[in-house]
Amino acid sequence: MRLIFSSSLIFVAAGWAQTQVDLRTQSRNVDFSKAATTKPAKTGTVLPAACSAGEIFFNLSAPSGAALYNCQATNVWSVAGGGAGSGSSGSIPTVTVGSLPGTCNIGDVRFATDAAVNGGGYYLYFCKAANTWTQFGYEAGASGALAANCSSVPCTIDTTNAVPLKVSANTWLGANDFSGASQTEPFRLVTADPATCVSTSREFIFNIATNMLKTCAAQNTWVAVGAIAGPVLSAGQGYFAPYGFPGENNTAIVWNSDNTGAFACTQFAAPYAMTLNKAGVILGTGPGAGKGLIIGYMDANMNTLAQGTLVAPGGSGNAVVTFRSSLVLQPGIYYQCIGSEDANTTLVPAMSGAIAAGFSNTLNYGSEKRVVVCSNSPSGTGAGYALPASCGTATAKQYPVISTVLLP
């Protein structure tokens, strides 16, 4: 009797020791319908990187209705009822949320009702990187040609009055009618004519310093539109005397009589287009040995255009200076500038004596400046004696108007 009793105790003890059941091998036709709760899937906030076919996973960070995943193939998760993803990524259908979740997987899409609508479609968000949401939509670019308006939904895109800038040249086709425009500005505005231009382009500029419209008539050559057709000057034919010729009794006067070292410039008007290469002047006493006399010409902004230097001609009488480059004049305002290294140089003026002094005062009436000295001075010596690139600051001065004649 003791042996049987002992065996029963052993059997009961063994039965109580078994607390876990392997449902795969120890059960059949399992019914959980009466269970208080069931959790048949593994849970977490991020999909496991690895899985085997048939596993399921409940993503606690996913939105309602898109949290249950199944592993369709090794390491390939897909949302139940959705498309396939890879590894920790998953493709989730668009879900409407009040605010974006703090975490997301690549490929997630959300329609956030609290989003700021700055452009079309800005309620829509894509997860482009782990836990990184990016708004999707459109907005106006930098050209200014299109404008997006989302003050109300649906958003709109429309053209604006601004014309976009093009990097390449514009080609106009057909008829373009600007007659109804309130304002047109078809020309490039400059204060000095550009140094270069291409004749085949027939480009135009409007020089606001001279109030002249010009076109490129030849390579690097600007010609005033509507300019008065003057005589064609050529070698041996024609001349231009901007200040007229001196009287019979005009005597040479000391140049630079105040010995300031400045050179003087006198304004004149060119009535028509001409190309000139030389300037003639009448000397009373030329500059001393090794010293130069400079005659040059500046534009209306007092930038040097052409010049020539006469070296120690000595004596008196007519002297001709050849320009280092041609002087091309269009109808407009210019300045003739003269300077000498030798303060004892004398030149014959267009008028003599007190008349010459009074005439320069008339030209500089009030605050006007037609006879001036410049803050920038010539440089070099002898044949290298030359005008500065520009006058600098011009100051009205009582200087004689020197008589010259310009030759082609």
Q: Using omega within 30 degrees of 0 as the cis cutoff, is the peptide bond preceding 154 cis?
A: yes
Q: Which residue has the tokens 């010596």?
A: 381
**DSSP label at residue 405:** E
Say what the pLDDT of residue 124 is: 79
Say what the pLDDT of residue 143 is: 66
Distance separating alpha carbons of residues 88 and 104, to the nearest angstrom: 10
Cβ 327 vs Cβ 275: under 8 Å: yes
Say what the pLDDT of residue 278 is: 93
Taking CA atoms, 369 is separated from 85, 335, 399, in Å, by 83, 11, 12
Say what the pLDDT of residue 5 is: 45
Residue 126: which residues within 8 A CB-CB, separation 6 or more? Answer: 107, 108, 109, 133, 134, 136
Cβ 66 vs Cβ 108: under 8 Å: no
Say what the pLDDT of residue 358 is: 65
Say what the pLDDT of residue 144 is: 67
Residues of the chain under the 70 pLDDT cut = 1-19, 23-24, 81-96, 113-122, 137-144, 150-155, 161-168, 227-232, 247-250, 252, 254-262, 313-315, 352-358
Question: What per-residue string of b and e applies to 376-388 under the rule 16 or more CB within 10 Å gives b?
Answer: bebeeeeeebbbb
Q: Which residue has the tokens 């490039």?
A: 188
The DSSP element (H or E) to which 214 belongs, if any, is strand 212-218
Distance separating alpha carbons of residues 270 and 85, to the nearest angstrom: 83
Fold of 253-407: Jelly Rolls (2.60.120)
Distance of alpha carbon 89 from its chain centroid, rounded? Answer: 45
Say what the pLDDT of residue 86 is: 38
Strand partners, 237: 234
pTM tops 0.85, yes or no: no
Tokens standing for residue 378: 């010539």
Tokens standing for residue 93: 């259908």
Say what the pLDDT of residue 322 is: 93
Angle at 252 between CA 379 and CA 364, to 5 degrees: 70
Say what the pLDDT of residue 153 is: 60
Each domain of the chain, given as residue ranges in start order, spans: 188-224, 253-407
Phi and psi for 16 in degrees, rounded to 5?
-70, -25
- pLDDT per position as a tens digit, 306-335: 999 888 766 677 888 999 998 988 888 999
